[in-house]
Each structure stands twice: as C-alpha cells, then as structure tokens.
Structure 1
Amino acid sequence: MFNVLIVDDEPSIREGLKTIIEWEKYGFKVIDTAANGRDALLKFNQLRPDLTIIDIRMPGMTGLEVIEQVRLEHGEGRFLILSGYADFDYAKRAISYSVDAYLLKPVDEDELIEELQRIHISLSKQVELKLRNAEEDHYYRAHMVEEFLFHDSEHGNIESVVNLGLSWNSYQIILIEVHGQAIGESLYINALKGRLIEHFDETEHGIVFSAGSNLGILLTDVIDREDQAIRLYAELSEMMEECNGLVYAAAGPMVKEIGEIGISYSGATELLQHRFLFEHKRIMTTDDLQTMISHFGNKPDVSQSDEIELSDKLYYALDIGSKDALWRVMEEIEQRIVSIGRSEQSMKSLYAQIFASAINKLSNSKTERNPILQQYSSFITEVYQQVTLKDLRQLTIDHLSRLVEGLGGMSKDTVLKQMIDFIQRNYNENLKLELLAEVFNYNSAYLGKLFKNYTGEQFNTFLDKVRIEKAKDLLLEGFMVHQVASRVGYANVDYFHSKFKRYVGISPSSYRVMEKD
C-alpha cells in the first residue's frame, strides 16, 4: 500500500478526491491533505508520501514551487499535477520536474484511475529495485566483514571498504547465540537474521553476518556502558519474541581499524564461552570476563572424595526431608562446582553425578520410595539441556521441592530422633557428626553434646553399637568376617575385629561359634 498526500486550496476538491476513488482497491491510501504550498512542504517532510497529488496554482506558493523545493531538499518524490488551466508553459515546467502525470480539472475519474494504476506499477518496480539493491549491498558488506574475520584478509580492499561505506571511526563485534524451542533452531536464526538486517543494515547502524552457528553484528556505535548493553539486549529479545526464541550476546573490545575486527571477534567468542555462568539480562562485555575470571578461576578441582561428600550431604538433606537443609546443600554444591572454572559440560556432568548418586542412595535406603524416585531419572537428562546456571538452579529447585513433598517433607520428630533414625538406617555409610551437623544446621560440638544428653552416649559410640548389633545378625546368617565388616561400614577388617571384641567381649568368629552351640 502506497501513501498519498492531496494538496489543493479548494476544500471541495480535497474532500472530493478522497471520496470518489476507492484508493485501497488500486494499492493506495490517503494519509493527509494540505490546503496550500507551505502546508504541503511541511507535511511532505513529516510524512514522506509515496505520491503527492497537487494543484498547480495556489495562493502564496504554487504547486511547481513545492515540487522544486522538494527536489532540492530530497531529490525524490512522485507527483501528479492537477490544473484548471490548459497552459503549455505549465506543462513544460511540470515535465522538467519529472512529474508522473498532468491532469486538467475537473478531474475525470477514469483518467485518474488509469494514471494511478500506471504509477502503482512504477512505484512497485522502484520498491523491488530498492530491495534488490539493498540485498546486494548487504551481501557485499557482510561478505567483506567475513573476509576480514575468517579468510586472513589483513588489509582488504581499501577502495571497496570506502565504496561500501565501511570506513568508520571505530568497530565492535557483537556475537549472538540463538536458542529455539518449538521448531528447528535454523529457522530461529534465519528469522532473527532477517530482523537484524532490517534493524541494523537498513538503518546503517551495523552489518549483520553469519558466524558458524551464531550471528554477528559489526557495530558502528560502540557498546561500552551497561545501559547500552541492557538496551541492545532488550532490542534483540524483542526481535525474537514472535519466534519464542532466546538470545545470548557478547560484545568484543572496540578497535579503530577494520583490519583489527578479528581482535573484537575473538574477545566476543571468549565471552560467549562463559555464557553458562552469566545471569544478567544484557549484552556481555569485556569487564564481565575479568569479573568471572577473578571470581571463579584458579580454584582446585573437585576431587572424588569431595564429590562423595557433596552427594552424601545432598542425600542426608533429602532423607530427612528438610527443604532448608536442602537449599543450603544445593548452594554449597553450586558454589563448589562453579569455583573450579571448568567447561559448561564438565560442570553439568559433575552436577548430574552428584544428584544421581544421592538419588540412588535414597532409593536403596527405603525401597518403598522407588515409585516416587523413578520419575526423577529424567532430571539427569534435563540437566544437560539447561542453557545457563540460572536455568539449572531453577530446574533443581522445582524438582527437589516436588521430591521432598512427595517423600512427606520434614517430620514432626525432634532433630535428635531424626538423627537416631537416620543412623539406624544408614549405619553402613561413612557417617560423621560434622557432616550431619552441617545438614541439620548445628554447630558440631553443640550437636554432639545434645546427642550425648539424649542417648547417654557419644555419637561415635552409638554408631559403633548399632553397627555391632547388625554385625551379630550377619555373622549368624553365615557371612564371612570380612564381608560383615564391609556391610556394616568398616573398611578395615582388623579395625572391625577390635571394635567387635571391645563391645562384645569376644572375637567375631568366637561369637558365631558360641551362639551356634
């Protein structure tokens, strides 16, 4: 649909032209009218109509003078002149201004429609040509950027850089990682690329190009402040709303020469590699990288014993059904995993291993829990599908909250009764008072005193006695001494032997012989 401005000093002519023609039928829309030449110039500058139908004789400023001024200021504009005078001189001047038609008043409806149809064809071809030229221009500009980035063009063709409008004061690369959900990600990328080209190339704010599975923008206006990073991210997110897609973007450092844009590209690439740990809704900048390196880098790796301890804590928190304990443990797991500064996949893998180990222990401790726990096997798969640490955290909160609720949540028993029940069910684990104190959020020394006052025995003594009582049953069932030691939580058989003799008064073998006799 092409826009039309009608200019005539006679109100009846202006209103008559608006009503006698079915404008939309012929691909036009009247957007406004003007009563004189000066009003026409003002509205032309504001509205930039595709076609102006203008009276040739008006008081103050003639139609030809309006056309002449428009040509001087804008160099373009399509005009159809109306005149009540069959004056050859006017016609000659109109032709010199390249008007599209010259019609005499009173206007013949059929003649006007014929001219509108002809002008519509011409305007359509003009739009098609502009689009084709814009596409070609974008292709060459994007191709040159890709040449500098990916084909070792250290200096490039300086003449082409100037001709294509790439001779800027500064340059900065923005890299965009796209994530889709409903349809193939390539469709998301193509949809976003079209919007980016329209937003940046056609407004001459940047050049959009392809960068592997990502998209890139070579910006003319450098992003170096947080408010700019927030604003650009909001623009990118808005472009993807219709496609239900997610974007993550990073800005490389600013450079002064187009031959140095590879430096900016490398900086943006390194930033995107840390996208998993970045939680702000804005473009990542080089300052963010320094912050993350100083916060997360140079920390010792998580050892196997650390992994076991973390999974044990998670298991304990799940077993006692305390959400408060659970969130404390999950926060510790997250901080510990993130602090090692490894790759996204490595962090996810370690996270999944800890969770799987805790769930397996929980399942083995009470078989009646299995129907509830089986539905959480899919959680491990979902861990690897999360795009950021923030997403993974929310996934964990949702799953574990439902799991604790499904298991019955926190009982009404006291902490000490829960500890005793826990020990009696998990005597074969490597139980430590310090670990349980962390789960229950107590000082270990204070919890030890409470435990002794409640049971009359030290924590380790109570645990030993539970284990020895279970060992008696296993010995009478026919298990070998070393098997019994392992089953009740003693890794060293000699240590088990000394403990058994201490509490029972005789060796495990003697006990079995005596009880069978």
Structure 2
Amino acid sequence: MYKVMIVDDEPKLRNGLRTLIPWESIGFEVIGTAASGKEVLRSFDTQLPDLLIVDIRIPGMSGLQLIQEIRTLGIPMRYVIVSGYADFEYARTALQLGADGYLLKPVNKDEMTSLLVNVREKMVQERQQQSSGRSDHRSKEWLIYSLLSGSSNLDESTVQDMAIEYELNWPEYEMVLVEFRGEASKSEAEIHRFREQLADVFNRQKRGVVLDTAAYIALLLKNPLEREQEKAELYKELQQHLSGELRPYITVAAGGKVKQLLEIRQSYTAAQSLLEKSFFYGEGAILCPDTTTANLSHMKIPERCDLPDVQEWGFRLFYLIDVGDGGNLEPLLKNAAQIYMNKGCSEQEVKKAFFQMINEVMRRIPEKTWNEANLASSPAQFLSSIYGHRTLARLIEDVLSVLEKLSIVSGSSGQHSEIKKMLDFIDRHFAENLKLETLARMFNYSSAYLGQVFKNKTGEYFNTYLDKVRIQKAKEWLAQGDKVYEAAEKAGFSSVNYFYSKFKKYDGKSPSDYQKKMKTDGSG
C-alpha cells in the first residue's frame, strides 16, 4: 500500500475525499489529513506519505508553496493538486513543480480514481527501479527523514549502501534539535535565514546535516557531543548565528550518540522528549539525557505529599504580602513548584496552578498597593504573563519579584516583630476564618510553638485574643444601631448563639443588654 495524506482547510472536503475514493482497492492507504502546510511538515516527524493530495488554498502557505518547501527539503513525494479555481497559471505552476495532476472541485470520483491508478503505476515502476539498484531519485535528506519518521521500509544493507553513497557512513551519530518558542515562532524569515546559514557551515565543514522538520531545526552530527566544552561551544555557535531578538527564545537538546544510522530515531526521540520537558530545566545550555531538572526547594518534600490546594496556598502568599513578610515568599513558591515536579505534572498543569494561586493573591491586593509598588504591568497582564514563561525557574523568579514589591509596600509601616505583624493582621482580617495553624504556616512555625509565643507576648491565647477583638468590633456596630445578628455577622461569628455566649463571657451582659445600656447612657 502507498501512503496518502489529504491536505485541505475544510473538514467537510477532507472527510469527503477520504470516503469518496476506494483507496484500498487501488493500492493506497490514507494515513492522515491536515488543514495547513505547517501541519503537514510537522507530521513528517512521525510519518512520510508517498502521495500528497493538496488544495491550492490552505492557510499560511499555499499548496504550491508547500510543494516547493518539500522539494527544497529533498523529500521525494508525488502530488495531486485540487482547486476550486480554474486558473491556467495555477495548473502550469503545479505541473512545473512535478505534480501528477490538477483537478477542479468538486472532485469527480471517476476522474480522481483514474488519475490515482496512473500515479500508482508510476510509483510501482519507481519502486522496481529502486529494487534493481537505481535509487538516484532519492536524496540524503529523504533518507534521514525516512529514518527519523520510522516510515522507512529499508533494510540494514540498503541503508548502509545509501550511507556510503551520501557520505553518511560515520562511526557515530547524534541528533540535536533546536526549537523556537514564544514570539520567536512568528519570525519565519529570520529562522529560515538561521537554518540556511547553519546548513552552509555544516556542509562546508563536513560536520553533519541540517534539516527543517517544521517543529524543529534538526542537526545530524558526525561527531557526537562527548564533553561539556563541546556542548558549550555548539550552543555558543548557535547563538552567534541568531539575531539578538531571537536568542532568548531558543531551546536546544541533544539526544545522545548512537552507533548506526538506523538508530538515529532513538537519538531524535530522546532529544524531542527533553524539549517537551524543557520547562523544568535551566536555560543557557544544551539539554542532554544526563541533564537533571532544577532542584528548586531546599526543603525535603515527602513522596506522598498531596498537590497544593491553590486557594489555600494563594491565601498563604497573600498573608505574607499583607504583613510585609517578603522573606518567606520564595520558599513557599519553590516548595509548591517542587511538589508539582515530584508529582510529574506537565508544564501546562504547573502554569495553570500558579495562575490560580496568584489570582487568589490578586483578588485580595488593594489597587492602591499595586499602584504604590510602581510595577510595569497591570494585574491582568501580570497574570497572563505566567503562561509565557519558558522555564519554571524563570516563572518563579518573575512572580517572586512582583510579590516582593507588593510585600514591601504592604509592610512599609516599619519593622514589626512577627507578633506585631500577627496583631496587625488580626486587626484587619478579624472577620475572616482565621486559624492559628494558618498563621503558623505563614511564619514557618509549628502551631504549638507559635501559640506559646503569642501567649507569652500578649498574655492571651490566640483564640481568646481573636474573640476579644471581634467582641470589641461588634460593640462599635451595636452602638451605631446595628441589629445583634448584623453585628455578629460583621464581626466574623459563625452563629448568633455563639456570639451571645462569647459576648456575655467577656462583657458580663448580653449584646441586647449592652445595646440598651448604650442607648440609655446616650439619652441621659
């Protein structure tokens, strides 16, 4: 069976072609469909079709441009063009590029089937010529693409013969992949220039082969990167070929050496795996199979530790900012990140969790505090930037920088002792569900120890002190004429009955009696 890919940006037409033609009965197998030229090129990482059925009008690059790009890459492939436009220039250009046919939409089943039968006869003849040793239509790039995609049916002997023919019979091999992320992916012309320069250098110096796989720029190295110095030198060389604007967006991974050309797919997939996990590594160097992920936390994280509750951890971050304790923000952020890493979470899962945690902080930060911190972005821009970071370490660094500035503004009233910070915090947040355990985590103490320190400094147990603050606030509202249940709710009491019992315990009278007395005293 010959492999076919259908390329059209309209799903209805893609599916229609797939079901309209009796592919198997005429010797073809549809291995996939694509909506754009980039999607086709990206698919070459895993499979190479023998025949492309491609529409003229597809997003990004036209069908004709796609054919030109594939020809530039040196990949032998046959093409059938379909179009909704009866344009002679389109047809002539397509035939000049080697297309086997040009059909107008809507495609006629019999016409298409007849054309495909003729194309298959040509492919059979070519395959017979190949088996008799005539492989001049192939290229060095085609051979490498075939091996990387795993779509090659070549046996070891044939690969060895072709390696000799294309001067690829080296003692060892290694695949290095270069990826551009973020804004750099839009600079197609600059990336193309980079690839061309690199290919020219590697060809002249006989160091290897440079390919463009759409997702990456791939380097097949003749001399694997054995020493750290060699890795550093190659990384520096890649940087030198790039414009300054693109350098921060490059990520490079090497897949390790292999002994045979047939094994380069192993090196390729190893490098690909490193790139997929590059968020968890450092920057400024080539990632290799022996590279370890960043160790962010100095605290030993228990293996069975649960994932952070984003609301709780976000509130803990806010606590630290609100009391001006910026020093404890970094370990809290790093501990959370380390837990996500230990659990094997993906890059997107980690970014989503950090977004939710920081959003909890932003919801509570007063606009005045944000403005006084003189930050370059708005809260919305700051939150959205979380998804744009290339590494976890840089994400933490940038988030920490903003939170520390907010902390400085919040805590600028002076250098309070930790107990003074707690008292200030209680005075501002008495109506919330405050617990000693939460404050203990915030200040990195055990709740038992912090409770004892609080008692020694204030003369009161934490819960007693909190109750008294709430009672005092409730008195103010009762004096202003609030109903008892209203004062209880504002002060943070869970029920009116509980409020009554606590009020009578600390004041000696009920809230109602207190309010009556205040009215009597006021009228007298």
TM norm structure 1: 0.62
After TM superposition, list the pairs within 5 Å mapping 1:187-206 onto structure 2.
187-206=189-208
Residues in 1 aligned to 2:513 and 2:172: alpha-carbon distance in whole angstroms = 88
Per the alignment, do residues 180 and 362 of structure 1 end up closer, same or farther by CA in structure 2, a change over 3 Å counting?
closer
Matched, 1:315 2:314: no
1:22 aligns to what? none
Q: Secondary structure at the match of 2:209?
A: strand
Sort the Cα spacing of 1:360 and 1:136 in 2 relative to 1 into closer, same or farther, 3 A.
Answer: closer
**How far apart, CA to CA, are the structure 2 residues paired with 1:299 and 1:248?**
32
> Structure 2 CA distance, aligned partners of 1:513 and 1:154?
95
Partner residue, 1:277: 280
Structure 1, unaligned runs of 5 or more: 1-133
Match of 2:220? 218
Equivalent residue letter for 1:194: E
Q: CA deviation at 1:296?
A: 9.6
| Deviation (angstroms), 1:187 | 2.8
Structure 1 stretch displaced more, 306-315 or 490-499:
490-499
What does 1:16-415 correspond to in 2, within 5 Å?
A: 140-150=139-149, 152-155=151-154, 157-158=158-159, 159-179=161-181, 181=183, 184-242=186-244, 244-245=246-247, 246-288=249-291, 300-303=305-308, 306-363=309-366, 368-369=368-369, 371-372=371-372, 375-407=378-410, 409=412, 411-415=414-418
Tell me the residue number matched to 2:461: 458
Output the CA distance in 1 between the equivalents of 2:497 and 2:167.
83
Distance in 2 between residues matched to 1:464 and 1:257, nearest whole Å? 76
Residue 276 of structure 1, CA deviation: 0.7
What is the CA–CA distance in structure 2 between the aligned matches of 1:248 and 1:435, rounded to whole Å? 40
Cα gap change, 1:308 to 1:415, in 2 (>3 Å)? same
Unaligned runs of 5+ in 2: 1-71, 76-137
User: Residues of 2 paired with 1:429 and 1:275: CA distance?
Assistant: 41
Q: Which amino acid aligns with 1:176?
A: V
Instruction: Report the CA distance between 1:491 and its aligned residue.
Output: 5.6
Per-residue displacement from partner, 1:345-372 (whole Å, max 9, x unpaired)?
1111111211121122232xxx643644
Question: Is contact 1:178–1:247 with CA below 8 Å preserved after alignment?
Answer: yes
> Counterparts of 2:211 and 2:494 in 1: how far apart (Å)?
61
The structural deviation recorded for 1:503 is 4.3
CA contact (8 A) 1:298 1:341 kept: no
**Structure 1 residues 507, 221: CA separation in 2 closer, same or farther (over 3 Å shift)?**
farther
Matched-pair contact (CA < 8 Å) for 2:150–2:265: no
Distance 1:307 1:511, change over 3 A: farther
User: Are the equivalent residues in 2 in contact too, given 1:296–1:338 (CA < 8 A)?
Assistant: no
- Pick 1 or 2: higher relative contact order, CA cutoff 8 A, min separation 6: 2
3-state SS of the aligned residue for 2:397?
helix
CA 1:202/1:498 → structure 2, altered by over 3 Å: closer, same or farther? farther
Query: Is 1:420 matched up with 2:423?
Result: yes
Letter in 2 for 1:142: E
> Are the structure 2 counterparts of residues 506 and 442 from structure 1 closer, same or farther at C-alpha, using a change threshold of 3 Å?
same
Q: 1:335 to 1:509 in 2, by over 3 A?
A: farther
Equivalents in 1 of 2:500, 2:340: separation in Å?
39
> Does the C-alpha gap of structure 1 residues 197 and 300 become closer, same or farther in structure 2, counting only changes over 3 Å?
farther
CA displacement at 1:344 relative to structure 2: 1.0
Instruction: Say if 1:228 and 1:500 are closer, same or farther in 2 by CA, change over 3 A.
Output: farther
Which structure is larger by alpha-carbon Rg, 1 or 2?
A: 1
SS in 2 for 1:333: helix
Instruction: Give the Cα–Cα distance (whole angstroms) in 2 for the partners of residues 291 and 321 of structure 1.
Output: 28
Residues in 2 aligned to 1:421 and 1:348: alpha-carbon distance in whole angstroms: 33
Distance across 1 between alignment mates of 2:381 and 2:73: 46
Identity of matched residues, %: 31
Is the Cα–Cα contact under 8 Å of residues 426 and 466 in structure 2 kept in the other structure?
A: yes
Q: Give the Cα–Cα distance (whole angstroms) in 2 for the partners of residues 266 and 136 of structure 1.
A: 22
Whether the 8 Å contact between 1:205 and 1:221 is mirrored in structure 2 is: yes
Q: 1:350-408 CA deviation, whole Å, 9 max, x = no partner?
A: 11211121122232xxx643644783332111111111123213322432343334446
Alpha carbons 1:296, 1:340 under 8 Å: kept: no
The match for 2:69 is none
